[in-house]
């Protein structure tokens, strides 16, 4: 696996996790 | 999610992709050089000086998964020990042996140059325009070239890149050199030892005789066997730490 692809996968995964947590916090009730 | 937010999210993802690509372009060579230094030290400590480590995949991209080749004279236990020593270096993702890197008898013939020229007479190794990226359609051809060059392993094989006469001559030399390097690494990935391969680019300096220098048919990669003398690393040539 090329280095750039490994990096892209890890950065995108981090982005998705951050996005998901942000989404949950933003939309929580109360 | 409304379209505006969706597009912001997509732009963020694209930014992440672009950033990681740029970072690996900028920092990748430094990172891989450090990794290579440690891997070479580990290899030498395990007694596998004859084994080549290629830190580029068959497409020329840097990778943390080195391809091992050469070291045919070593016994299986040593090869295994070297492979696991290299694989244990922190940062290395794993190792693999180049295809056909074992069990090939060392035949000394120079027919391989003719064989390669025959293969390349009707077909050419293609690249993306103005780039050193080998066209995926040429992978089969490279397999054949590597197979034809195998009898010449132990000789110095020169890989020379040529361009046509269109465009800036310095850029052409750089491009032809980059293309020759790409072919060299593709061959290393196919089990041809790196120490016997020399890549050079001459730009448009050496057009095909009888052809207009601006003719696109001048864009080509040539192979020539420089010497049949077996390559023995001298103390100066032997790769080592630092």
Same domain, B55 and B159: no
Same domain, B133 and B69: no
Number of Cβ pairs < 8 A linking chain A and chain B: 50
Q: Structural domain of residue B81, as residue ranges?
A: 7-97
Q: What is the ipTM of this complex?
A: 0.80
**Structure tokens of A27?**
């939309």
Same domain, B80 and B180: no
Residue B2 covered by a domain: no
Contacts of B19 in chain A (CB under 8 A): 11
Of B47-51, B110-114, B126-130, the poorest mean pLDDT is in: B110-114
Same domain, B134 and B195: yes
The per-residue pLDDT for range A3-13, each reduced to its tens digit, is: 888 999 999 99
Domain count, chain B: 2
Residue B93 covered by a domain: yes
Average pLDDT of the residues in B74-93: 88
What's the confidence (pLDDT) of residue B234? 54
Residue B147 covered by a domain: yes
**Domain end call among B73, B97, B121:** B97
Average pLDDT of the residues in B175-188: 91
pTM greater than 0.90 (yes/no): no
Please name the residue that has the structure tokens 């999210």.
B9
What's the confidence (pLDDT) of residue B134? 87
**Structure tokens of B36?**
């290579």
Interface test with chain B among A3, A21, A24, by most B beta carbons within 10 Å: A3
Same domain, B86 and B171: no
Residue B161 covered by a domain: yes
Same domain, B170 and B93: no
DSSP, collapsed to helix, strand or coil, labels residue A2 as strand
Same domain, B115 and B182: yes
- Single out the residue of B174, B60, B182 nearest to residue B126, CA to CA: B182
Those residues of chain B whose CB sits closer than 8 Å to some CB in chain A are 9, 12-13, 16-17, 19-21, 23-25, 28, 31-32, 57, 59, 61-65, 93
């Amino acid at each position: 696996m090329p280095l750039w692809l490994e990096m892209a996968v890890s950065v995108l995964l981090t982005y998705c996790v951050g996005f998901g947590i942000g989404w949950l916090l933003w939309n929580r009730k109360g | 999610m409304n379209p505006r937010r969706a597009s912001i999210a997509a732009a963020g993802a694209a930014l992440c992709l672009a950033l990681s690509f740029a970072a690996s372009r900028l920092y990748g060579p430094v990172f891989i050089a450090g990794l290579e230094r440690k891997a070479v030290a580990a290899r030498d400590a395990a007694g596998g000086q004859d084994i080549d480590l290629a830190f580029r995949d068959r497409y020329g991209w840097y990778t943390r998964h080195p391809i091992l080749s050469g070291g045919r004279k070593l016994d299986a236990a040593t090869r295994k020990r070297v492979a696991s020593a290299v694989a244990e270096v922190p940062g290395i993702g794993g190792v693999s042996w180049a295809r056909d890197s074992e069990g090939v008898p060392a035949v000394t013939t120079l027919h391989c140059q003719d064989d390669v020229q025959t293969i390349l007479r009707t077909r050419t190794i293609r690249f993306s325009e103005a780039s050193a990226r080998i066209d995926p359609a040429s992978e089969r051809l490279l397999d054949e070239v590597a197979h034809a060059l195998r009898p010449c392993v132990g000789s110095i094989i020169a890989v020379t890149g040529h361009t046509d006469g269109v465009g800036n001559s310095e850029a052409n030399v750089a491009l032809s050199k980059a293309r020759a390097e790409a072919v060299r690494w593709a061959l290393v990935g196919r089990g041809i030892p790196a120490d016997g391969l020399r890549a050079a680019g001459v730009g448009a300096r050496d057009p095909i005789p009888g052809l207009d220098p601006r003719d696109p048919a001048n864009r080509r990669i040539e192979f020539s066997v420089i010497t049949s003398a077996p390559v023995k690393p001298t103390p100066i040539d032997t790769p080592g730490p630092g």
